[in-house]
Amino acid sequence: MMIDQPIGVYLNWSSYDELSDNVELTEALALRQLDELLRLRARGVKLDYYVMDAFWFAKDGGYREWRKPHWPDGPDRWLEKCVSHGVKPGMWFGANNPAWMQPIPEWMDSFDPETGCMCCFYGGFLAHYSETLHLWYEQGVRLFKFDFADFSAAPPGIKQALLPSEIRSANITGFRGALKAFRSAHPEAILIAYNGFEERTMQNSTDEPLAKVIDTRWLEAFDAIYCGDPRPADVPAMNFWRSKDIYSDHMVRRYEQNSIPLRRIDNAGFMIGTTGTCYHRGKAAWRGMLILSLARGGSVNAYYGNLDLLSDEDAVWFAQVQRMFFELQQSSTVHTFGGIPGAGEMYGFAAANTQGALVTVVNPSQKKQSMALPLTDQPVLLFTDSGFKPIIDTNMITLGAEQIALVGYGDYASVELGQETDVVIPEVIDSLDAEFIPDSDHSICATVLPLSSGKLRVVFQQVNQQGRAVRSSGDKSLTTLGQVLTITAEQAGRNLPVEINYDKAIWSGLSWAVGEIAVKDTMQPVKIRCTSAEKRDVTLKASLHRVVYQEES
C-alpha cells in the first residue's frame, strides 16, 4: 500500500551493532526494546512498526531461519507480542547481496563468485527470495527493509555474454518487478529501500557538486527511499551532534533535488544508542534531532536505537512534538527554503495548514546569520538551543552559529517546548585575523595575542587538491579522531587545555576539527597548531574565532 499518513517506525539497530561495535542482536535484547516501545506508546508516542534489523538470520538459512543460539525458538515470541499489542512487525533483508550469509542451494545458479551477490534475472534466487517475503508476510510481517543491493551480479557464463550495463539493467528490472508484484499481492506491505539503490555510490561528503544519483522509477516499488546513515557533515561544528543534524538535512536536500518527493524520503536521522554506529551518543541533543527528523517531512518517520534511554517525561515531550508535526504532515505539503546545508548556508523546512504552521530554521555556519521566514504572519519561538536567544523581527530571524530554532504560527504558536540543553550557542562569535602557515608536513600553526574576554575557537579542515573535503577515519576500538586531527595550544612554554567534542571513533570519517581554548593570561601570545595524521596528500586550512558564552558576557 502507498502510505497515506505519517507512520512511526522503530528499528532496533543502534541498540546493538555488529559492524562498528561488538554488541550482538539477541532475543532478550529485542524483547527488552519491545517492552520499552510499549512504554513509550502508553505515553502517547506513535510507534506503529517494530523492525528487526540486520543479523537476525541464520547464515545458511536463506532468510527463512533465525540465528542460533541468539533465537533458540525463532521469532515466535517477538512476533506474537508485537501482534498482540497492535504493533506491526518489520524485518531487514539484504537485497540481492546476501552479506554475512552462505548462498543456499536454491540460489547457486544465480551466484556471482566475483561479487558474492545474486543475479536477479537468471537462476533460482529471485523466485525463492520472493517466496521468502511471502512466507514472512503470512506470519504477520508488514514492513520490509531492503539493504545492500548490488546490481552488477551475474554468474560467469552470463558475464561472458552480456555487457555490464546490460547486466545491471536486467538486474534492476528483475528486482523492481519482483517487488512490484509482491506489493500487488500483499497490499498491507510497506517497502523501504536502503543502501545500493543509487545509480552510483553515494559519497560521505556533503561538499560534492549536485549530481543525479537516484532513478525515480524505484518509487514504483518502494514507499520510501532512505538518504544515508547519520554521520557528521563536512561543515565544522563545535557541537558534534549538530554536525550530524546538518548531514541529514543536506542529504534530504540532495534527494529532493533528485526529484524524490520529501514525503518519500526516509531521512533515518533519529538515532540514539550506546553503540559505535551512533558514536556512543546516548541521548545527547535528542530533542533537536527529533524536531529536525520530523520537520524534513518524510511519511516514514524512523527512530533507531535504545528506547530505554528515554524517560517517561521524555516520552511525553516526544509525543507532543510528534503529534504537532504529524498533523501537518497529514494535511499539508512540507517544503524547503533557504540555502544548501552542506555549503554552510542558512536554510529551513516549513509546513502549514489552515490552522497554522511550523517552520524549522538552521544556521550551520560559524557566524550569526539572518534570513526571511517563508510566512508573513508573526512567528513565535517554540524551541531552540540554550545560550544565544534567536532574534525575531517581523518575519526576519537571526540565529547564532550552529543554531536551530522552531517557530510556530496560529494554533501551533501556543506550545512552549523549551531548549536543547545539550547544545550551547555562544552569545558572541567574531572572526579573528590569524594566518596559519605550514609548520611541518600535515601541520599548520598560528600565533595570536589573547583577548581580554571569551574563548578562542579554532576551526580546522583538510581538503584535497580540488578543495573537496577529505575524511579521515579512526578505529572502532583503538583510534579516535582526536588522535588523528589534533589541535594544540601553547603559551609561554605551557600547554593549554583544548576543549573538543569530536574525539570519537567515527566509522564514517571526519574532515574537520573544532576546539575551544580558554586563555587566562592575556599578556603572552598563544601558539596554536593543527595537525593531521592522514597519510594521503591533503591541504590543511584553519580559522580562528572569538566566542563569548552567556555566563561570560
With CA atoms as reference, report the closest residue to 95 among 23, 150, 48: 150
Cβ-contact 75, 34 below 8 angstroms:
no
In three-state secondary structure terms, 165 is helix
Cβ-contact 498, 488 below 8 angstroms:
yes
- 200: cell is 552510483
Task: Supply the CATH classification number for the domain 337-425.
Answer: 2.60.40.1180
**What's the average model confidence in pLDDT over 55-66?**
97
What pLDDT digit, counting tens, does each position of 391-445 carry? 999 999 999 999 999 999 999 999 999 999 999 999 999 999 999 999 888 999 9
With CA atoms as reference, report the closest residue to 24 among 64, 68, 80: 68
What pLDDT digit, counting tens, does each position of 316-343 carry? 999 999 999 999 998 878 999 999 999 9
What pLDDT digit, counting tens, does each position of 525-551 carry? 999 999 999 999 999 999 999 999 987
pLDDT of residue 440: 84
What pLDDT digit, counting tens, does each position of 75-103 carry? 999 999 999 999 999 999 999 998 899 99
d(CA 366, CA 456): 13
Cβ-contact 550, 272 below 8 angstroms:
no
Please tell us whether the domain made up of 429-548 is placed in CATH 2.60.120: yes
pLDDT of residue 257: 95
Model confidence at 552, pLDDT cuts 50, 70, 90, reads: low
Within this chain, domains 337-425 and 429-548 share the same CATH topology: no
Model confidence at 478, pLDDT cuts 50, 70, 90, reads: low
Q: What is the helix (H) or strand (E) element at residue 93, kind and residue range?
A: strand 88-94
Please tell us whether the domain made up of 7-315 is placed in CATH 3.20.20.70: yes
pLDDT of residue 202: 59
b/e map 520-539, b = 16+ CB within 10 Å: eeeeeebbbbbbbebeeebb
Q: Is the pLDDT of residue 201 over 70?
A: no
Query: What is the residue extent of each domain of the chain?
Result: 7-315, 337-425, 429-548
pLDDT of residue 203: 59
Beta strands in 256-399 (DSSP E): 265-266, 270-272, 300-305, 335-338, 347-353, 356-362, 369-372, 380-387, 391-393, 396-399
CA distance readout (Å), 355 to 123, 157, 358, 410: 56, 62, 11, 6
The rounded percent of the chain whose pLDDT value lies above 90 is 90
